[in-house]
Structure formats: structure tokens, C-alpha cells
Amino acid sequence: MFFIIGYGLILLGIIAIFSGIVGLFRFPDFYTKIHAASIIECCGVPLSLIGLAFLQHDFTSSFKLVFASILILILNPVSTHAIGKAALLGKTNLK
């Protein structure tokens, strides 16, 4: 039962990563591209890591994967916001 959930979460993570990659190539400006990159960071990678945690037989490996995904969910939006705000305040050419 756990392998179905694990493979399903990995598949959802791959779909989120793929949609973010498509967004990086198709979106016109910096701010929408950074949004697509944050989709990869905040949805794709944690879903894949939690899916891998479901596939592990060892509790410590599963705990490490879930802990890493929680850290990614907390730290990546903060860093994406900092990059976006620095670009806004720096008034750089964003095209």
C-alpha cells in the first residue's frame, strides 16, 4: 500500500517539476520565471522526497527525507522572496 502512495507522490513531484521547467522557458519576465522556479522548489522536490520516504523501509531514512522536505518548504520561499525583493529594489534590467 505504501509503495502506491510513494510512487504517486513521486509522480506528482515530477509533474510539478516539469511544469516549472516549462514555465521557466515560456514566461516572459523575471518575476514570473522566479515564480516557476519556486514551484519546482516548493512543490516538486518536497513531494518527491516524501514519496521516497514512503518507499524506504528504514525509519531513520524516512525521517531524514521528511525533515529535508520540511526544511525545503520553509527555507526556499524565503530565499525566493529575498531574490525577488533584491531584484525589485536593485531596479535591474529584468528582461
CA 8 to centroid of chain Cα atoms: 16
Three-class HEC string of 40-89? HHHHHHHHHHHHHHHHCCCHHHHHHHHHHHHHHHHHHHHHHHHHHHHHHH
**Mean pLDDT in residue range 43-52:** 94
pLDDT of residue 56: 92
pLDDT of residue 55: 94
pLDDT of residue 1: 85
Percent above pLDDT 70 for the chain: 98
**Mean pLDDT in residue range 11-32:** 92
pLDDT of residue 20: 92
Domains of the chain, residue spans: 2-90
